[in-house]
Structure formats: C-alpha cells, structure tokens
Amino acid sequence: MTTLAQLTGALARLDREVVYTPQDFDRIARFMHEATGIRLTEANERMVYARLAGRVQDLGLDSFAAYVDLATLALAEEERDRLISSLTTNTTHFYRESYHFDFFAQQILPDIAARGRAGERIRIWSAGCSTGEEPFSIAMCLLQGFPDAAAHDVKILATDIDRAVLARAAAASYPPGSLRDVPKTLIDSCFDAVPGTDHLMPKAPIRAMVTFRPLNLIEPWPFRGRFDVIFCRNVAIYMDGDTQEQIWTGFHRVLRPGGHLFIGHSERLSPSLKGGFTIVGNTIHRRNADPAAGR
C-alpha cells in the first residue's frame, strides 16, 4: 500500500526540474554508440528523457550533465550497465516471426538431428536474446523434432549486452501475452504454470537446453568452435551501417559453411556480404562455402 509520505515524495519529485539540454543528449548518444553500436537520433531525445529522468532524480542529481558525468566514470560500471539497459529496446515474444521457426523445423532440424545423433557438435546462438523468448522458442522447436537432443552434444547459447534482461531470462517467468504466437498444442506440452501468478514457465528440459551469457556484439567474441545456426533478429536495426557490417562479417566467420543466419524482418545484410551467403527464405541466409577451401 502506498503511504502518504511516499505519495508526497513522488509528487515532490515530479515537481523538481531535471535540466536536460541538447548537449546532454549528444553526450548520451555518443556514449551509447561507442558502448553498444546503437545509434540514437534526434527522434529519440524525448525517449531518453523519459527513461532516465527518474534515475537522475533518485540519485539526488538535478541535471543530466551530472548524471552522464557519473555514469561514464571509469569506476561506475554498475551505473553504466544500468544506463545501457535503460536505453536498449528489449521487445520480444515467443515464436516472433514464426515463419523462421517453421523453416528451422522443416529445413534445418532434420539435418541437425542426424548430425547430432552421429556424434557431431551442434551449436545454436541467439544473439541479442533479450528476456529469453527467442532461445526458448528455438529450444521448444528443437525438442519437438529432436526429442533426444539433450543426450547429444547440442546446445543453445543466448547472449545479450543487457544484464537486466538476462536476469529476467534466467527467471523464465512469462505473462500469457508473450505466448500469443505459440501454437495452442505447444502451450500445454511445453509450459508449466508459475504458482501464485498467471505466468507460464518453459518446462525444465527446454530451459536446460539454453545457456544465458552477457556478450556485447561490438566487442571481440570469445568463441573457439563454429555455429550451425545463428538467430540475430531485431538487434542490428538499431545500429549504424558500419557496425551492422562488422557484425554480419563476424557471423560469417563463426558460422560453419552451410550454417544458417536468421535476421529481423526489416534488416538486410550489407552488400559486401553478398558472396558470403545465399538467401534461402524470408530474411534467412545460408552461409556459402569458402571458395579457396572448396567447402
């Protein structure tokens, strides 16, 4: 229950001006670009104010300039992460762009199951996984067509720059709206009720397929082996062309020849990647063999 003192405090906060200038926005935009590759434009000026003003006030500061000084201090790692988390767009839901999962189940999974059962190492990466709906959708799909996947060397890695969404992904508790695109038959077989809430949680074998890790796509990637499939959907759209190209090039490097890359519905690979991939479906690309290697 909200007390009178809390209410009065909240009203006082609303009254207090937080000074926010175009120069503050420029500094925040520059910081976000350098730290994440995300490009904020003038159209985002109000959004930045709306998402950060409360935090500026909670810290007892009266200007964005003071807040940016604080958050970008070398030692203020936690506040820096919080700032990044406040300004990333984390929208997602289960089976988003469901044609990708149909393609995965029909065109990719039979080969993955055969190779996995033959003892090959199978790795799938959900890059920019947000709160986990995407990698759990992949795991659901995988276990439908390859129910013994866990008995083989098959893993799904799910990464994001935003530690707050990764914490929610690890909790794996989802409101019904997030499951709106999940086929009805799968809801019963793949989810358990979360006691005391109307939320649902993917069943334990689905959760066990996915490992969540923080990873910034614009920093060096720590992988040794290659991936069979990469989903990186609705992440690059917020970045500038050079950063996108750098990320697509990286995916080409870490995908095995014949592996697949799924990107968001409004994203396109940079022209320089044209020879590296073949378009095999709507925003679905198959990595070509390296000509010199002949495979």
Ligand X SMILES: C[S@@+](CC[C@H](N)C(=O)[O-])C[C@H]1O[C@@H](n2cnc3c(N)ncnc32)[C@H](O)[C@@H]1O
Which residues of the chain form contacts with ligand X (CB under 6 A)? 36-38, 88-92, 96, 128-130, 134, 160-162, 165, 216-218, 233-235, 264
Distance of closest approach, residue 230 Cβ to ligand X, in angstroms: 11
Distance in angstroms (rounded) separating the CA atoms of residues 163 and 157: 15
Residue 110, token pair as written in the block: 């039979």
Closer by beta carbon to ligand X, 56 or else 158: 158
Q: Which of 26, 27, 39, 51 is catalytic?
A: 51
Distance of closest approach, residue 134 Cβ to ligand X, in angstroms: 4
Q: Any alpha helices (H) in 221-275, and if so which ranges? A: 241-254
Q: Strand, coil or helix: what is 28?
A: helix
Q: Strand, coil or helix: what is 20?
A: coil
- 117 CB-contact burial (10 Å; exposed 0-12 / middle 13-18 / buried 19+): middle
Closer by beta carbon to ligand X, 66 or else 218: 218
Closer by beta carbon to ligand X, 122 or else 138: 138
Q: Which of 24, 160, 162, 228 is catalytic?
A: 160
Region for residue 60 given its phi and psi (left: phi exceeds 0; alpha: psi -120 to 50; beta: otherwise): left
Closer by beta carbon to ligand X, 91 or else 185: 91
- 7 CB-contact burial (10 Å; exposed 0-12 / middle 13-18 / buried 19+): exposed
Distance of closest approach, residue 290 Cβ to ligand X, in angstroms: 26
Is 160 part of the annotated catalytic residue set? yes
* Contact (Cβ atoms closer than 8 angstroms) between residue 149 and residue 116: yes
Distance of closest approach, residue 272 Cβ to ligand X, in angstroms: 20
Is 51 part of the annotated catalytic residue set? yes
* Contact (Cβ atoms closer than 8 angstroms) between residue 157 and residue 122: no
Closer by beta carbon to ligand X, 18 or else 229: 229
Distance of closest approach, residue 141 Cβ to ligand X, in angstroms: 14
Distance in angstroms (rounded) separating the CA atoms of residues 91 and 165: 10
Distance in angstroms (rounded) separating the CA atoms of residues 280 and 40: 32
User: Residue 160: in which H helix or E strand, if any?
Assistant: strand 154-160
The set of catalytic residues is 51, 160
